[in-house]
Amino acid sequence: MDKKKQIAELIQPISDDLLSGAAEIALKAIFIYQTVMNLEPSADLAILKADIYETARALVECQPAMAPLFHLSNKVLFATQQANSPAELRKSCQSALDEFERNLCESVAKIAELVYDLIPPGEMVFAYSFSSTVVSCLLNARARGRYFRVACSESRPSWEGRKLSTRLASGGIEVIHTFDSAMGIVLPTCSVAFMGCDCVGAPGLVNKVGSLLLALSCQEMGIPLYALCGTEKFVSDERLFEFENHERPGGEVWSDPPKGVKVVNRQFELIPTKLITGLVTEAGVLKEADIAQHLSKTPVHEALRLEPAGF
């Protein structure tokens, strides 16, 4: 089979994945890089490098709002640069993958520590959409003996809220589940709200559509809203707006609309940082003013540089 096609097939499940958060998707991508490196045991250095370039480009393009996919791919690309043999390349890529995975896990553990202190005992907590970081932090707090309930909404059109409810309930957390536009009914019973985040830049956060309504409601009702995200979600402003290229098929919202009805299915939106009480990162709880100094200054590998906008 043509190699490009083979790589595209490996990546397809990530492209189709509407239920996983950004950190979870990065973990799946680590497995894909390992598979690609070993697709052809006898491949020479040039072929291996070309396969990794192809994988990196395709991964970043298929989920443009997911910052960890970009940083992971960028690190892997730089790891290929100094290798002088297939064995060296495999070794340096594997060590980049291992380091990324270790940092991701350590980062979630630190965030969970901070979140524990943000959950008032015995209260109701709101959680939006599906973020593996949010789930880990809530389950960790429950396992450490903090009692609280979680309210959440279904997250149309892909129902990530059902996945969230199921995971939390299986971890012994009592869940109140409703539809998305009923946020205004359940939020007044909540003391704090948490959401994940796919991408952070100076103008704001990118997260699942609906996060903006949540943020506006929290602001109006005086409920603190925290976005849980390691600094692997921080990107340059230029890359931040890549999420706007992510339009999903209208049929996922309404499979048979009548003539004259255009169905719009966007997956991500921008939430201005001023609407967020704090970003809980492995480097502490950051406020709007702290974000600039954490923005990504990592050099970007040429394979991932964005084309300048033109005519």
19 part of the interface to a copy of itself, by CB under 8 A? no
Contact between 151 and 124 (Cβ < 8 Å) = yes
Handedness of CA 166, 167, 169, 170 (dihedral sign): positive
And the tokens for 5?
A: 């096609």
Among 38-46, 80-88, 183-191, 300-308, the segment contacting a copy of itself (CB under 8 A):
183-191
Residues 220-239 that bind a copy of itself (CB under 8 A): 220
CB of residue 241 to a copy of itself, shortest distance in Å: 14
Judged by CB under 8 A, the residue of 67, 96, 173, 286 near a copy of itself is 173
Judged by CB under 8 A, the residue of 8, 27, 186, 295 near a copy of itself is 186
Indicate the residue type of 274.
K
Judged by CB under 8 A, the residue of 269, 276, 277, 291 near a copy of itself is 269
- For residue 264, give Cα distances in angstroms to 116, 212, 253: 38, 17, 8
Select 171 or 284, whichever has its Cβ closest to a copy of itself. Answer: 171
Residues in binding contact with a copy of itself, number by CB under 8 A: 45
Contact between 75 and 93 (Cβ < 8 Å) = no
Burial of 21 (0-12, 13-18, 19+ CB in 10 A): buried
Judged by CB under 8 A, the residue of 24, 51, 54, 154 near a copy of itself is 154
Select 6 or 191, whichever has its Cβ closest to a copy of itself. Answer: 191
Task: Give the whole-angstrom CA distance, residue 210 versus residue 266.
Answer: 10
257 part of the interface to a copy of itself, by CB under 8 A? yes
